[in-house]
Chains A and B, each alone.
Chain A
Amino acid sequence: MKKITALLLSLVLVLSIFVGCGNQETTSSEDGGQEFKGTIKIGGLAPITGSYAEYGKGFKYAWETAIDEINAAGGANGYKLEIDVQDSEGDAVVSTTLATQFAEDEEIMCILGDFSSTCCLANTDIIERYGIVQFSPTCSSPVFCAESIYNFSINGLTSVEGQFAAKYMVGEYLGGETVVILRADNDWSEATAEPFVEQCAREGIEILADEKYQLDEKDFSSIITKARSLDPDVLIILDQGTAVSAICNACDSVGWDVPRINIGATTSQQVADQLVVKNLLTPASFFFDPENEALENWRVKFREDTGYEPTSHSVQARDTVYLLKQAIEKIGDGEITREAIREGLYCSEMDGFTGKIIFNPEGDITRRAFYICGVGEDSQWYVIEKVEFDPAEF
């Protein structure tokens, strides 16, 4: 019994030390010295622990730095922004609980996040009932935005990406006639593959096979062998993250140099670094352009502060904050309410790091231009061609 009390006491002690540290940090960072009309609180949901920690930490970093930037420049519409980022662990139950917490806190005006579509969709009912915006940088579910007027996402309608890749990359750029699709078995790849397949049919491109694999797949040799036996002109990889480079490397290790197009990872530096043979193309609405000074500075700072390369997810997270700022500015002298923020976001437009963002009435965005990017021998992404198109043509 004594031992337990001792343990509990020491635990309390350790925890209180942590609390002490935490409090000190926040008080010291509040010395701004600027005059604000007031403070607008934002809730942030991100998986900063667990399998998606890489992206969650990127979110947290991108949100907080963007808000610091905005506050340093006088705030949004004269208001100081404040974000409270909570760890949703990528777990639907935790995320819904946190969403309720934010929604109930009347000071919180908007929720940024979550990362995964499981969490975003699970939160939909709550945010709808409380009437608070859930603005996800990356929710990939095709039905997310249509589900509620309070849902916004700037992941971009993946259908366009698929159609673009089919028409302009496989068709016009590579001139391929047969393709094999390899894709992770998740909602995002399903939503992307379908329009891709339809567009291929219109372009007269034959789909030889559509192979799915589990999300944590490590060994791709057998599906590569399967794909190779069909001998396609182009290999399409629908996935995000390191599986893309793993698939390419598995191809190269058996000496199969088929042209590969990846939809999903965009211009991830990690993917480029991990390629043994730099043979990969991707349609990107955005890429880390070394000539775009602001973006390059941001990227360098991200790497210095976090110790790893940012992915496009973090950039999207940054853009959500600026879109929010713009929405708050639209309110002008009116009262800042949750509803006003929703109206401010509705059908808004902005030039972000991730390209031109135009919300459609559902709250999703449609891209109007893509870069065709390829990896160079120095593991950097290069733009091969910029293609502007009208989404209506598909």
Chain B
Amino acid sequence: MKKVKNTIVKYKLFFILAGLAILLLLPLVITKSVYMRHVCNVLIFATLASSLNIINGYSGQMCLGQAGFFAVGAYTCAILTTNYGWSFWVVWPVAGCLAALMGYLVSLPTLRLQGIYLSFVTLGFSEIIRIIAQTWTPVTGGNMGIKGIPFPIIFGKELFKPHDYYYILLATLLLFLFITSRILRSRIGRAWISIREESNAARSLGVEISRYKSMNFTYGAFWAGMIGAAYAPYVNFVDSSQFSLDTGFDALAMVVIGGQGTLIGPIIGSVVVTVLTESLRFLQYWRFVIYALIIIAMMWVRPQGIAGASNSILAGGKIRRSSRKKAISRNR
């Protein structure tokens, strides 16, 4: 095991480049649009789950309302490109920034709150955004939604095919991974993790908890907005029903299944969940029954997630593992 790890570390650059090459060439290998759409769905949810992971995984807060930030991004893009004719490339960062602003606003009251109370406020926020989207007809189209969202155009080519759109989504995810991995290694990232692991100690060491927490929320919301903006042209039609709490819960499930607090975790989670739900299609009505059972089983077998580290507080720490040993010995 250690040997493998060493090899990976040694040839890290090589592995990253090889992975990149595979990802870039993927559309050439997959010819059918439908498979490409599945890949695109995975990328969308991977980025959404990753943005949630910034908040839940790195600073240890519990946000249940990621669908709200996602909606802000998607609607900003839909409104500005469809009704005002802005170019997607201009709207994209604008949508991210607007979602970030929302994230900042939500973070303000939540700084005083902890645990369930904080989760609740984020959940309430997400529902409020959805209802506003549904009722503010002059701007958001209300119940009619916004249809015919123009596809992004690059070098005069309209990117409507999933094969082309894939690159936009891939770029979003890679950009996210690159910037986030930098941030995590900086003072900010270390501050977030210290808040997660032991907030009192962090405070005594001079970490301004409230500032870093709200920065964390803002950053997480920014990426939810970015992927929301990329999502809108992809589905070509947005309405409020697409941003229900379930969307947020789906992202949460992906984060936890993949491994909270790791960069790769939400991506793995997104792949696993998508592959599972798609491969279970033949079960018809029983599909979600089996899916739910798998989620619960997954939490029993590997509560820290597939890619999760077992030594962080997120995996339950030492107490968690000893109780599991007990459970195993009892079963025997």
Q: Footprint of B on A, CB under 8 Å?
A: 3-4, 7, 11, 15, 18-19, 22, 48-49, 53, 57, 86-87, 91-93, 96-97, 100-101, 103-104, 116, 118, 121-122, 124-125, 129, 141, 143, 147, 185-187, 189-190, 214
Scan residues 279-322 of chain B and give those whose CB is less than 8 A from a CB of chain A.
279-288, 294, 297, 301-302
Nearest residue, chain B, Cβ from A7 = B301
Contacting pair A97 B283 (CB below 8 A): no
**Chain B interface SS verdict (over half):** helix
Q: Is B236 an interface residue (CB 8 A)?
A: yes
The answer to whether A190 touches B142, judged by C-beta atoms less than 8 angstroms apart, is yes
Ordered by A's residue number, 5 sampled pairs between the chains whose C-beta atoms are within 8 Å are A96-B236, A100-B37, A104-B32, A129-B160, A189-B143
Smallest CB separation, A143 vs chain B (Å): 7
CB neighbours (8 Å) of B235 from chain A are 92-93, 96, 122
Cβ < 8 Å to A, chain B residues 248-283: 279-283
> Is the beta-carbon distance between B281 and A87 smaller than 8 angstroms?
yes
Are the C-beta atoms of A3 and B145 separated by less than 8 Å?
A: no
Contacting residue for A124 out of B34, B37, B237, CB 8 A: B237
Find out whether the CB atom of B37 lies under 8 angstroms from the CB atom of A97.
yes
**Which of B37, B44, B144, B162 is close to A143, meaning CB atoms less than 8 Å apart?**
B144
Q: How far is the CB of B166 from chain A (nearest CB, A)?
A: 13
CB pair A185–B134 under 8 Å, yes or no, is yes
Contact (Cβ within 8 A) B283 A18:
yes
0/1 string, B126-159, CB within 8 A of A gives 1: 0000010011000000111101100000000000
Q: Which residue of chain A has its CB nearest to the CB of B294?
A: A11
Q: Which residues of A contact B181 (CB under 8 A)?
A: none
| B38 within 8 Å of A (CB atoms) | yes
Contacts of B297 in A (CB 8 A): 7
- Chain B contacts to A: CB under 8 angstroms: 32-34, 37-38, 41, 44, 131, 134-135, 142-145, 147-148, 160, 162, 235-237, 239, 241-242, 279-288, 294, 297, 301-302
Question: Cβ of B279: which chain A residues have Cβ within 8 Å of it?
Answer: 15
B74 to chain A minimum Cβ distance, whole angstroms, is: 11
14 further A-B pairs in the complex, CB-CB below 8 A; given A97-B41, A101-B37, A129-B160: A3-B301, A7-B297, A18-B282, A48-B284, A57-B285, A92-B237, A92-B242, A96-B37, A121-B147, A122-B235, A124-B147, A125-B236, A147-B147, A187-B143
Q: Known contacts being A92-B235, A129-B160, is A118 close to B241, with CB within 8 Å?
A: yes
B143: A residues at CB distance < 8 A: 185-187, 189-190
Q: Bound complex: CA of A7 vs CA of B301, how far in Å?
A: 9
Interfacial chain A residues near B237, Cβ < 8 Å: 92, 118, 121-122, 124-125
Q: How far is the CB of B254 from chain A (nearest CB, A)?
A: 14
Closest 7 CB pairs between A and B? A101-B34, A187-B143, A122-B237, A125-B236, A97-B37, A100-B34, A121-B237
- In the docked arrangement, what's the CA distance between A143 and B147, Å? 10
Q: Check if A122 sits within 8 Å of B301, measured CB to CB.
A: no
**C-alpha spacing A176/B301, complex, angstroms:** 66
Residues of A within 8 A of B148 (CB): 125
Is B144 touching A185 in the complex (CB atoms < 8 A)? Answer: no
Docked CA distance A55–B235 (Å) = 24
- Bound-state CA distance A214–B135 (Å) is 10
- Residues from chain B with Cβ under 8 Å of A53 in the complex: 285
Q: How far is A232 from B288 in the complex, measured between Cα atoms in Å?
A: 46
CB distance from A315 to the nearest CB of B (A): 22
| Chain B residues with CB under 8 A of A15 | 279-280
Closest residue of chain B to A4, judged by CB?
Answer: B301
Contact A185 B285 (CB under 8 A): no
Q: B285–A49 contact, CB under 8 A?
A: yes
User: What is the bound-complex CA distance between A389 and B92, given in angstroms?
Assistant: 52
CB distance from A184 to the nearest CB of B (A): 9
Contact B282 A49 (CB under 8 A): no
Q: How far is the CA of A48 from the CA of B280 in the complex (A)?
A: 14
Cα(A86)–Cα(B278), bound, Å:
11
Question: How many Å lie between the Cα of A53 and that of B287 in the bound state?
Answer: 13
CB–CB A87/B287 < 8 A = yes
Cβ contact within 8 Å between A93 and B144:
no
Closest chain B CB from A387 CB (angstroms): 30
Task: List residues of chain A with CB within 8 A of the CB of B34.
Answer: 97, 100-101, 104
**Nearest A residue to B44, CB-CB:** A93
CB-based contact B41/A49 at 8 Å: no
Residues of B within 8 A of A11 (CB): 294
Beta-carbon contact of A93 and B41 below 8 Å: yes
B144 engages A190 (CB within 8 Å): yes
Bound complex: CA of A135 vs CA of B149, how far in Å? Answer: 22
B78 to chain A, nearest CB (A): 12
* Cβ contacts under 8 Å, B134 to chain A: 185
Question: For residue A22, which residues in chain B have a CB less than 8 angstroms away from its CB?
Answer: 282
On chain A, the residues within 8 Å of B288 by CB distance are 49
Chain B residues in 8 Å Cβ range of A104:
32-34
Q: In the assembled complex, which residues on chain B have CB atoms less than 8 Å from the CB atom of A116?
A: 241
Contact present for A122 and B236 (CB under 8 Å): yes
Instruction: State the CA gap A226–B144 with chains docked (Å).
Output: 27
Taking the nearest CB of chain B, how far is it from the CB of A21, in angstroms? 10
